[in-house]
Amino acid sequence: MQNGYSENVTIDEGVNPTTGIRTQFHFEGDSLITQKTFDAEPHLEHARQMRQAQDGQRWGEGKLVGHIPAAFYAKICVIRDPEARRAAVREFFQQNPAFVGYTPYLKR
């Protein structure tokens, strides 16, 4: 007698509107695989618009240096030390320059 399903099944929970993450559960035999995917395109477009709006401006108060998608920002928010949190934000933008909204930020 065979246990479990004889065919593979996928359940798609769709995209979380807050994080932009799509969660899918794949049942393959007696295994469960959780797949999470992220569509960064709307966030990249937002950062591009920020760059265009601030292009040519000098440093000053109120600059929007970039956009961190919620999926990544949640990991930064749990860092309690303010200096370590600032370093994590800077590291995110250095590793993901397409999310930078004010280009001179990377040159500092």
Q: How far apart are CA 67 and CA 82, in angstroms?
A: 19
Domain boundaries, the chain: 9-38, 41-107
Q: What is the pLDDT of residues 46-94, one digit of tens each?
A: 999 999 998 888 887 778 899 999 888 989 999 999 999 999 999 999 9
pTM for this predicted structure? 0.70
Q: Which of 1, 5, 11, 107 is nearest to 58 (CA)?
A: 107
The tens digit of pLDDT for each residue in 4-44 reads 556 788 999 988 887 778 999 999 888 899 999 988 888 89
Residue with tokens 């246990």: 3
Q: 3-state DSSP call for residue 5?
A: coil
According to DSSP, the residues that pair with 100 across neighbouring strands are 66
Confidence grade of residue 107 (pLDDT, cut at 50, 70, 90): confident
Question: Over the stretch 39-54, which tens digit does the pLDDT of each residue have?
Answer: 888 889 999 999 999 8
